[in-house]
Amino acid sequence: MSTAERYAEFGISEKVQKTGEEILSGLSACFDTIDRNAEDNQLRVIRAMQDAHVGEASLLGTTGYGYDDIGREGLEKTYAHYFRTEDALVRPQITCGTHALALALMSNLRPGDELLSASGRPYDTLEEVIGIRPSRGSLAEYGIAYRQADLSPDGSMSFENIRNAMTPKTKIVEIQRSRGYLSRPSFSVKEIGETIAFVRSLRPDVTVMVDNCYGEFTETAEPSEVGADMIVGSLIKNPGGGLAPTGGYIAGTKECVENAACRLTSPGLGKEVGATLGILPQLFEGFFLAPVATASALKGAVFAAAMYERLGFEVFPASTSERHDITQAITFRLPELEVAFCQGIQSASPVDSFVTPQPDDMPGYDSKVVMAAGAFVSGSTLELSADGPLREPYTVYFQGGLTWPHAKLGVLKSVQNLLDHAYIKL
Ligand X SMILES: *Cc1c(COP(=O)(O)O)cnc(C)c1O
Spatial separation of the C-alpha atoms in residues 72 and 280, rounded to whole Å: 7
Residue type, 371: M
Q: Is 119 in the site for ligand X (CB under 6 A)?
A: no
Cβ distance to ligand X smaller for residue 113 or 211: 211
210 binds ligand X (CB under 6 A): no
Q: Which of 338, 265, 313 is nearest to 94 (CA)?
A: 265
Nearer to ligand X among residue 211 and residue 338 (C-beta): 211
> By CB under 6 A, what part of segment 213-252 binds ligand X?
213-214, 234
For residues 51 and 154, give the distance between their C-alpha atoms in angstroms, rounded to a whole number: 42
Instruction: Single out the residue of 37, 41, 85, 98 in contact with ligand X (rule: CB under 6 A).
Output: 98
**Residue 387 within binding range of ligand X, rule CB under 6 A:** no
345 and 385 Cβ atoms separated by less than 8 Å: yes
* Cβ closest to ligand X, residue 34 vs residue 96: 96
CB of residue 23 to ligand X, shortest distance in Å: 27
Among 92, 180, 185, 344, the residue binding ligand X under the rule CB under 6 A is 180
Q: Which of 17, 125, 152, 161 binds ligand X (CB under 6 A)?
A: 125
- Look at residues 255, 189, 213 and name the one whose alpha carbon lies nearest to residue 94: 213
Residue with Cβ nearer ligand X (176 or 346) = 176
DSSP structure string for 208-254: EEEE-TTTTTSSSS-GGGGT-SEEEEETTSGGGTTT--S-EEEEE-H
Eight-state DSSP code of residue 362: -
Check residue 58 and report its DSSP letter. G
Instruction: Name which position in 96, 118, 264, 273 contacts ligand X (CB under 6 A).
Output: 96
Q: Does 265 bind ligand X (CB under 6 A)?
A: no
Asked if the peptide bond before residue 393 counts as cis, ω within 30 degrees of 0, the response is: yes
Instruction: For the beta carbon of residue 68, count every other beta carbon within 10 angstroms.
Output: 9
Residues 6 or more apart whose Cβ sits within 8 Å of residue 247: 90, 91, 92, 94, 234, 235, 236, 240, 279, 283
- Please say which residue, 208 or 409, places its beta carbon nearer to ligand X: 208
Closest CB 382 distance from ligand X, rounded Å? 11
Residue 135, interface with ligand X (CB under 6 A)? no
Q: Is 129 in the site for ligand X (CB under 6 A)?
A: no
Which residues are at the interface with ligand X (CB under 6 A)? 96-98, 101, 123, 125, 176, 178, 180, 211, 213-214, 234
